[in-house]
Structure 1
Amino acid sequence: MLICVRNFLARHLLLTNVGTSCAQIGTADIIQQHINGDVDRDGWDWRRTCRMAAIGLVMAPSLHCFYRVLDTRKFIGSRNCKVLKKLAWDTAFIPYFSCIFMTVGSIYEGKSLSAAFAEYRRKMWHIWKVDFTLWPPAQLINFYFMPPALRVVYVNLVSLLYNCIMSYIKNNELHHHSTN
Structure 2
Amino acid sequence: MAALWRGCGRVLARRPGAAQALTAGALMGAGDVIAQQLVEQRGLRGHHCPRTLKMMAIGFCFVGAFAPCFLGCFLGVTGAVNGLSVQDNWSKIRQDYMDALMTNYCIWPPVQIANFYFVPLQHRLAVVQCVAIVWNCYLSWKANRM
Give the conservation status (yes or no) of the 8 Å contact 1:28–1:163.
yes
RMSD: 3.3
Cα displacement (A) at 1:122 = 0.9
After superposition, what is the alpha-carbon deviation per residue over 1:47-93, rounded to whole angstroms, capped at 9, x for unaligned? 11111111113334xx2xx6xxxxxxxxxxxxxxxxxxxxxxxxxx4
Residue number in structure 2 paired with 1:52: 55
* Structure 2 residue 34 is matched with structure 1 residue 31: yes
Measured in 2, the distance between the counterparts of 1:169 and 1:96 equals 16
* Structure 2 residue 131 is matched with structure 1 residue 128: no
Residue number in structure 2 paired with 1:21: 24
* Structure 2 residue 84 is matched with structure 1 residue 111: yes
TM-score by length of 1: 0.61
Give the conservation status (yes or no) of the 8 Å contact 1:28–1:167.
yes
Cα displacement (A) at 1:160 = 0.6
TM-score by length of 2: 0.73
Residue number in structure 1 paired with 2:133: 160
Cα displacement (A) at 1:6 = 7.0
| SS of match in other structure, 2:42 | helix
Aligned-pair identity (%): 27
Measured in 2, the distance between the counterparts of 1:20 and 1:95 equals 21
Give the conservation status (yes or no) of the 8 Å contact 1:59–1:100.
no
- After superposition, the Cα gap between the structure-2 partners of 1:100 and 1:58, relative to the gap in structure 1 and judged at 3 Å, is farther
The count of corresponding residues between Structure 1 and Structure 2 is: 139
Give the conservation status (yes or no) of the 8 Å contact 1:21–1:156.
no
Cα displacement (A) at 1:121 = 1.3
- After superposition, the Cα gap between the structure-2 partners of 1:44 and 1:4, relative to the gap in structure 1 and judged at 3 Å, is closer
Give the number of the structure whose alpha-carbon radius of gyration is greater: 1
Amino acid of the structure 1 residue aligned with 2:57 = A
Q: Which runs of 5+ in 2 are unaligned?
A: none
